[in-house]
Amino acid sequence: MPNRIQPAFPEHDTQAFWDGAKAGELRYQTCDACSGVVFTPRSHCTECGSTKLTTRVSKGAGTVYTYSVVRQNRSPAFADLGAYAVAYIDLDEGFRMLSGITGVSDPTKEVKIGMRVQVEFEPQDSGDIPIPVFRPA
C-alpha cells in the first residue's frame, strides 16, 4: 500500500472532506446563496463570498482535463510507484480536482485527455485516511 502524506488535524475547512474520504465519499460544497460549486473545501464561496455552504457527495465520475506523467520522484512517499500520472479531473458535478490516476500499467500510453474516470479511495500505510485517486471508468 502507498505511504502518502496524511493531513494534519484539526483542520477546520477540510475536515468534512477527509471524513468523507474515510467513509468512501468524495465531498464538495455548494453555496446556498448563489448555487456556486466550491472546491477545494473552504469556509466561504469563491464566487460570492457567502459563508453559507452545503456539503454534498459527488458520484465521483469525471473526465481527464489534462495530465502529466511523473517519471522521477525523490519523495519516499512515491518511490515505489515508478512512472505515474497526475491529472486535473473535471467532475460531473462541476468542479475540477487534482489527483493521481491508477489502474493503468503504462501511464505514458493509457492516460488520455477526455478519458472518463471514476474515483476510488486508496488505503494508506501511513495513516487512517484513504486518498482519493481515479481509475479509468
- Using the predicted structure, report yes or no on whether residue 127 has a pLDDT greater than 60: yes
Residue spans of the domains in the chain: they are 9-58, 60-137
Reported as half-sphere exposure (CB side, CA atoms, 13 A), residue 15 has a value of 6
pLDDT in tens, 31-74: 999 999 999 999 999 999 999 999 999 999 999 999 999 987 77
pLDDT in tens, 95-109: 999 999 999 999 999
CA distances from 92 to 32, 37, 64, 100 (A): 19, 11, 11, 17
What are 103's three cell numbers?
489502474
Q: Which pLDDT belongs to residue 117? A: 98
Check if CATH label 2.40.50.840 holds for domain 60-137. Answer: yes
